[in-house]
């Protein structure tokens, strides 16, 4: 069974859906908030106890069909009942755990758009909860696919603290609510369609192409559409045939999703820039540390040449191998090398991802390339001239290309 929207009761889903579902993404009915106009619907007209009992049953059905590597994501909001806030997401986690699920993470979905007013005792509501649940600990999760590049200026000064693959996702996600009627080419008339970007982030994070995605409360079919566009298979269930008719209508207009060329390019430029910044900063930071150990060392150092080594790294956390050649005005003996390696082995220099090999040459530094003058306070800059002619100079077998320069300029 592939790509189906069934008019069926979610409480019976294990009879209809094959075992081995890879990912469940759903926004269940928020207790009795809305009438979805279908007999047998969960939530509307039910008592609180009956609602939780039905939701427990749906979660048990979901647990029965999910694969060992699968996960279930729920998008839920709180609501007000009898003058008090009802923490619906927390109650649903409780019944889901009774049905065999474990909560892995709670994410805040910042919606940005809301009604311009609020009622007494309430603020304007601009967030909902996204709950990430699994049955076991073998679940798929690929945070590298959803990294971001919205760095603060710190990354230029501290490139060793930023991953070459961007920033790991946080637990606050910002996606505007879709405007009804502006989704795809077709009019979408549903109370709460989910934003495509939010669903796609979950799909990227926890599934692979061709995997099977299930939404037991499919509504307008936002999850099914995002799954289809992301090259996944899908099954959706709902009781309201109008929603299915609407989905059937716009489904043929859906296009497969294309890789965002700008994001791919940014990722490449960020990775290469961080690599160069780290390779340049390591000897700069080393010189700074050596100055603290003994000012005499520094006066004896004429320059440092960075050479890239092609051999594979030995350490699991190392990314690159480099040789740093120290040109000394006078022989500093073995003590100097011991001091250098001692520093390199310790944090923070050991955290740069660089396997550094150090060589000493007792002769003046005659750089073949333009020298980068070491600055105490801005190790990442390559000034065009040495301010007083006394700082050790650095050379590297690379410079920043125009795209990297442009990126760096944004943060200087
Ligand atoms: C919060 S809405 C889902 C919205 C959906 N995520 C979207 O993007 O449009 C909940 C949906 O659950 C459906 N529903 C309620 N009880 C159901 C049941 N027992 N089985 C299947 N669907 C049900 C409703 O018809 C409604 O469309």
Give 114's Cβ-side CA count (13 Å radius). Answer: 14
Nearest CA to ligand 1 atom 16: 41
Domain spans, the chain:
4-258, 262-409
The reported pLDDT for the residue numbered 227 is 97
Quick one: pLDDT at residue 184? 46
Calculate how far, in angstroms, residue 240's C-alpha sits from the geometric centre of ligand 1.
Answer: 8
Weakest mean pLDDT among 37-46, 47-56, 108-117? 108-117
Q: Which residue's C-alpha comes closest to atom 7 of ligand 1?
A: 193
Q: What is the mean pLDDT of residues 383-391?
A: 54
Reported as a single tens digit per residue, the pLDDT across 120-178 is: 888 888 999 999 999 999 999 999 899 988 877 778 888 898 888 888 899 999 998 87
Separation in Å, CA 46 to CA 29, 49, 53, 243, 348? 11, 8, 10, 22, 59
> CA–CA separation, 213 vs 236, rounded Å?
8
Among 11, 28, 29, the mutation site with the greatest number of ligand 1 atoms within 8 A of its Cβ is 29
Residue 189 Cα to ligand 1 middle (Å): 13
Share of residues in the chain with pLDDT > 90 (%): 61
Average pLDDT over residues 190-198: 80
Say what the pTM is.
0.85
Which residues form ligand 1's pocket by a CB distance below 6 Å? 9-11, 27, 29, 36, 38, 40-42, 190, 192-194, 217, 219-220, 222, 237-240, 243
Q: Say if residue 97 is exposed, middle or buried (CB neighbours under 10 Å; 0-12, 13-18, 19+).
A: middle
Mean pLDDT comparison of 65-69, 247-251, 330-334, 347-351, highest-scoring range: 65-69
Atom of ligand 1 nearest to the CA of 27: 6
Sorting pLDDT into bands at 50, 70 and 90, what band is 323?
A: very high
Q: What phi-psi label fits residue 246: left (phi over 0), alpha (psi between -120 and 50 degrees) or beta?
A: alpha
The alpha carbon of 362 and the centre of ligand 1 are apart by a number of angstroms equal to 76
- What CATH number should be reported for the domain whose range is 4-258? 3.40.50.150
**CA 172 to centroid of ligand 1, rounded, Å:** 25
More confident residue, 180 or 85: 85
* pLDDT tens per residue across span 259-298: 889 889 999 999 999 999 899 889 888 888 888 888 777 7
Q: How far apart are CA 219 and CA 224, in angstroms?
A: 10
* Residue among 335, 324, 326, 403 nearest 361 (CA): 326
Q: How far apart are CA 204 and CA 141, in angstroms?
A: 9
Position 380 scores a pLDDT of: 55
Average predicted confidence (pLDDT) for the chain: 88
φ, ψ for residue 21, nearest 5 deg:
-65, 135
Pocket test residue of 31, 41, 74 for ligand 1, highest count of atoms within 8 A of CB: 41
* pLDDT at residue 386, rounded to an integer: 52
User: Over pLDDT 70: what percentage of the chain?
Assistant: 91
Highest mean pLDDT pick, 109-118, 287-296, 329-338, 362-371:
329-338
pLDDT digits (tens, 9 = 90+) for 216-225: 999 999 999 9
pLDDT confidence of 383, banded at 50, 70, 90?
very low
3-state SS, the chain, equals CCCEEEECCHHHHHHHCCCCEEEEEECCCCCCCCCCCCCCCCCCCCCHHHHHHHHHHHHHHHHHHEEEEEEEEEEECCEEECCEEECHHHHHHHHHHHCCCEEEEEEEEECCCCCCCCCCCCCCCCEEEEEEEECCCCCCCCHHHHCECCCCCHHHHCHHHCCCCCECCCCEEECCCCCCCCCCCCCCCCCCCCCHHHHHHHHHHHCCCCCEEEECCCCCCHHHHHHHHCCCEEEEEECCHHHHHHHHHHHHHCCCCCCCHHHHHHHHHHHHHHHHHHHHHHHHHHHHHHHHHCHHHHHHEEEEEEEEECCCCCCCCCCEEEEEEEEECCCCHHHHHHHHHHHHHCCCHHHCCEEEEEEEECCCCCCCCCCEECCCCCCCCCCCCCCCCCCCEEECCCCCCHHHHHHHHCCC
Strands 4-7 and 233-238: parallel
The residue whose C-alpha atom lies closest to atom 5 belonging to ligand 1 is 219
């Amino acid at each position: 069974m592939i790509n189906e929207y069934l008019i069926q009761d979610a409480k019976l889903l294990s009879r209809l859906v094959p075992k081995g579902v890879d990912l469940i993404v759903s926004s269940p009915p928020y207790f009795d908030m809305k009438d979805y106009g279908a007999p047998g619907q969960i939530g509307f007209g039910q008592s609180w106890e009956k609602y939780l009992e039905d939701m427990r049953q749906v979660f048990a059905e979901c647990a029965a069909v999910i694969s060992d590597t699968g996960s279930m994501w729920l998008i839920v909001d709180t609501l007000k009942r009898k003058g008090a806030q009802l923490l619906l997401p927390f109650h649903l986690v409780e019944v889901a755990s009774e049905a065999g699920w474990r909560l892995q993470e709670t994410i805040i979905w910042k919606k940005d758009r809301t009604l311009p007013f609020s009622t007494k005792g309430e603020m304007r509501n601009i967030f909902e909860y996204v709950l990430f649940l699994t049955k076991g600990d073998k679940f798929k999760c690929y945070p590298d696919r959803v990294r971001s590049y919205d760095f603060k200026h710190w990354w230029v000064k501290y490139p060793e603290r930023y991953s070459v693959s961007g920033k790991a996702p946080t637990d606050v996600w910002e996606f505007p609510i879709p405007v009804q009627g502006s989704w795809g080419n077709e009019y979408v008339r549903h109370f709460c369609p989910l934003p495509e970007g939010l669903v796609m982030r979950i799909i990227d994070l926890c599934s692979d192409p061709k995997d099977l995605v299930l939404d037991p409360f499919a509504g307008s079919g936002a999850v099914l559409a995002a799954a289809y566009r992301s090259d996944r298979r899908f099954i959706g269930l709902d009781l309201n045939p109008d929603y299915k008719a609407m989905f059937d209508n716009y489904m043929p207009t859906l296009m497969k999703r294309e890789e965002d060329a700008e994001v791919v390019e940014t990722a490449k430029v960020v990775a290469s820039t961080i690599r160069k910044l780290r390779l340049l900063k390591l000897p700069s930071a080393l010189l700074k540390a050596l100055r603290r150990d003994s000012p005499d060392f520094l006066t004896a150092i004429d320059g440092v040449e960075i050479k890239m080594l092609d051999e594979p790294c030995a350490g699991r956390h190392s990314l690159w191998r480099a040789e740093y050649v120290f040109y000394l005005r006078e022989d500093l003996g073995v003590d100097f090398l011991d001091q250098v390696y001692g520093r390199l082995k310790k944090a923070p220099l050991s955290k740069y991802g660089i396997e550094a090999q150090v060589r000493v040459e007792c002769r003046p530094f005659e750089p073949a390339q333009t020298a980068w003058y070491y600055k105490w306070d801005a190790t990442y800059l390559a000034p065009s001239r040495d301010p007083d002619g006394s700082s050790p100079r650095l050379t590297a077998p690379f410079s920043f290309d125009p795209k990297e320069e442009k990126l760096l300029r944004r943060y200087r």
